[in-house]
Structure 1
Amino acid sequence: MMKRKSIFATLFVIVLTTFMISCEDNEGKTPTPLPNANLLTDFWFGYYQEDALTNPEDPLPGFIYLQVPVSGNFEGELFFSYSGCATGVDIGRVIGTAANGNLDGTWLGNVDGENVGGNYLGQLVGNGIYQGSYTNDDGKVEIVCDADFSYFVAPNGTWFLQKTGNNETLDVIAVADTDPITLNWNTGSGAGLAYSVVVIDAACLEQDLDLEECLMWSGISTTNSIVYGEGVGETVPAQGLVSGNTYLASVTCINSSGQATASSNITFVR
């Protein structure tokens, strides 16, 4: 669910006035010491994608995570990475049951006073990936902030999740011995126009499952690297990272049509 005047739309204009920087391999240092291997072992990270056919006005992706056991109850959150009528972090919570590689659940949230939510379904596919779809029970909803400012809640969409540490696609590298830290990555195809980056306190998320408490920073880059707290745009201001703590960084590549094309995540120690 993305508003018309989203930060991504603004970035598209900025990028059109500059040259595109292709996605290339970048060298970096492997962070030491190693991240806490006991954190986020049953977590999955990725993105949801609004359907472009039913919501052509602003079909943009957002961050999502789930904690999924082999069988039993799963839970997670969708992070609506846009600025709505009021400031703050808008989140939808996902709950349901996992069994035999299938997820059957619901999601529920509130966006600028409007209740949103519906079905949330998916299945485990090859190479440790969950894919699925979601719906909004009230269909497509326009939220009007004022006469010049509105955005839509899409009636449906899809989602994509990878296991913690699945870094094959973008090859994200955290250079954590600098201040501030730097993240570098590549896509190989050079198709990215913008990159959505989130950094999360791993121990906090393991314990609380609460992005409002555990999200350290959310920023946007138009190149295949970013300095912590210094993106061309941000939806959550950067908080200080504590030396010795384990963090998770998730990067999603978004093309000029507003479609997510790739995602990877890593854990690192500050």
Structure 2
Amino acid sequence: MNWLSLVTELEALIFWLASLILLAPKTLYCIIRRPKKMITVLSQEIDKRTDDKYDAYTSPITFWVIFSICLLIFHAILLEYIGFIIGGIFSGNSTNITEFEFNFSSNRITKAIIISIWPPLLFSYIILLKKKIIITKSNLENIFYMQCYLFGSFIALYTILSIFMTLLNFILPFNITNFTSLLYYYGIPIDWLCLILSLIWLINSELHLYKFYSVTTKRSTSYILILSSIFSSIVLVCLTGLLFIGLFNWAL
């Protein structure tokens, strides 16, 4: 075994992980803040065939894994316990870790992975279908990678809003307002509010992407395509989830 080569690869891995800590949030911030500009920049980055490819930003698959799959698993497993954890901290009660029942069920993780995979793939397929382009690996690459960036940012934005709203509920003094209770009083679940705000950003970003790929020039047609894609993604996620869960339960 070449130990020098092993040490060199280990150093490269450590540096890659360290740079990821800086580049991943930078990429996310730029996409959320200026999606229209970043679509052009990232598309040029994806098309590069030089050594400096993804030098300034995180690669699409890495970005997708961090901000889509990992965060959805986080949602599926831990987010429901955040309120209980923070509530114990701000109320002054000592909270023992043994009180939590962290349910790392295979069903939840499976759902999270399915939700991560279907939407980028389906949205990419619809763009190719609308442009009447044959589906090949080379044709799909740029569009799918762009969808990875957008959907990773969408999941990250939803997570940030959810955590912010949960924190806000416990940080604000109760005698001033209990923010989430006020929303629930008016029939607005906090998760749905975060999801709607994130979806507004996603639809706007997809609109810019459709224009970038010259899928359609009409705004109304673009909205119809995007909304139908979202609906189709939800249906496919539900059907695939039921299939996987059924197979999993049958295997057990």
TM-score, normalisation: structure 2:
0.25
Q: 1 or 2, which has the higher strand percentage? A: 1
More helix by share: 2
Please identify the structure whose Cα radius of gyration is greater: 2
